[in-house]
Amino acid sequence: MVAAEASGDLLAAHLIGALRARRDDLRFSGIGGPRMLAQGFESHASMEKLAVRGYAEVLRHYRDIARIRRTIAARFLAERPAAFIGVDASDFNLELARRLRTAGIPAIQYVSPSIWAWRGWRIRRIVRSVSALLALFPFEPALYEKTGLAVTYVGHPLADLIPMEPDKRAARAELRVPAGRRVIALLPGSRRSELHYMADLFVKTARRLLHDVPEAHFLVPTASRATREMFEQSLRRNEAGGLPLALLFGHPHEALAAADVALVASGTATLEAALFKTPMIITYRQSPLTWMAMRRLGYLPYIGLPNILAGEHLVPEYVQGKATPWALAEALHALLQDTGAQRRQIARFREIHVLLRQNTAQKAADAVLAVMNAGGR
């Protein structure tokens, strides 16, 4: 198995648990994070080194990433596992899957690459690379219908994990939020490459919002020691040490459950916010080179998963040049005041939650074991 970021680590950990419950003889190794390690996974490289998003960022780290892929491919080819599961991270995993499948090792991609968003031309590469695909979203299997690839809709494990009605009061008590505050969760991303572009943006937004909402209290969950240090550096750089802000190590779910509204970097965190029924604003910044390339290939009018699943501009999005501290602070202030907009978001978030709640880990384990059984393993 190979996972390359926090969301993949979560997906893989749940799948490992479900597979172990069926087959106690299975052993799991490759590249993974702390949740996978807690399940007994053996990791041969740091997941953090693969947590890079965007063309320009990947180019800067290409040699290291290519070396890791060569090393892990050689290990897997020597060990000849019963199956390889690439968890998201398709830019890394599809090439690895192709090499292993060519050598007769069944290869499974867990999470469809975003062909529905802006890279539809990649579908042929996916079909050539993997034996089966596990899809998180209900509209994805139809995209592969004519290819012959075995695609199973498994839902999203977060929809199973997160309660339909989160306990806001308990979350605030756990995080020791002072009474009488308007709580804003700030989720600037889980990768260092994301913090590079968004730490200052989020800090400046919080400073500006505090002028309009003096009772604001900010919660900032960080995914790793490195991202926490980057956010701390941004606070110092922007002379924002006096912000009413709790910098958390982990605890994104508690922060979202406690929040009145959230400012979220595009990605899996937007889905987490939706499942916690937290009204939000979505934003994203990346390198200008990556943005230009994505603009040329893009064909969806939105980037946030809640909007994609809702099929409409349910959640306001502020991307690249539109993502300024002034615009984001104004949008958050407006959302805090507009209870009608909050209710509209929450109502659709409940519908999304029901749609994605599919007992995902069990369905994914069934699909993986079917591939393994077909290969005599």
Domain 2-155+358-374 has CATH 3.30.1490: no
In the CATH hierarchy, which fold is given to the domain comprising 168-356?
Answer: Rossmann fold (3.40.50)
Longest Cα–Cα distance of the chain, Å, equals 65
Q: Which residues pair with 247 in a beta bridge?
A: 220
Consecutive sets of 10 residues in the chain, 377 residues long: mean pLDDT of each?
A: 89 96 96 94 80 52 79 95 94 93 96 68 86 94 90 96 96 96 94 86 96 97 89 94 92 97 92 98 77 55 88 93 95 98 98 97 96 77
Vertex 357, ends 273 and 82: CA angle to 5°? 105
The three-state DSSP-derived secondary structure of the chain is CEECCHHHHHHHHHHHHHHHHHCCCCCCEEEECHHHHHCCCEEEEEHHHHCCCCHHHHHHCHHHHHHHHHHHHHHHHHHCCCCEEEECCHHHHHHHHHHHHHCCCCEEEECCCCCCCCCHHHHHHHHHHCCEEEECCCCCHHHHCCCCCEEEECCCHHHHHCCCCCCHHHHHHHCCCCCCCEEEEEECCCCHHHHHHHHHHHHHHHHHHHHHCCCEEEEEEECCHHHHHHHHHHHHHCCCCCCCEEEEECCHHHHHHHCCEEEEECCHHHHHHHHCCCCEEEEECCCHHHHHHHHHHCCCCCCCHHHHHHCCCCCCEEEHHHCCHHHHHHHHHHHHHCHHHHHHHHHHHHHHHHHHCCCHHHHHHHHHHHHHHHCCC
- Which token pair is 25? 């003889």
pLDDT attached to residue 59 = 53
- Give me the residues paired with residue 217 across strands: 183
- Tell me how far apart the alpha carbons of residues 231 and 248 are, in angstroms, rounded to a whole number: 11
Domain boundaries, the chain: 2-155+358-374, 168-356
CB of 270 closer than 8 Å to CB of 315: yes
* Residue from 44, 32, 89, 41 nearest 68 by CA: 44
d(CA 261, CA 210): 14
Contact criterion met (CB below 8 Å) for 154 and 138: no
Which residues lie closer than 8 Å to 322 by C-beta, 6 or more apart? none
Q: Whole-angstrom Cα distance, residue 49 to residue 65?
A: 7
pLDDT at position 268 is: 87
* pLDDT score at 64: 77
Query: Which backbone phi and psi does 89 adopt, to 5 degrees?
Result: 45, 50
Domains 2-155+358-374 and 168-356 share a fold: yes
- Which pLDDT does position 119 carry in this prediction? 53
What is the pLDDT at residue 357? Answer: 97
- Beta strand 150-153 with 132-135 is parallel
Q: Rounded to whole angstroms, how far apart are CA atoms 377 and 228?
A: 43
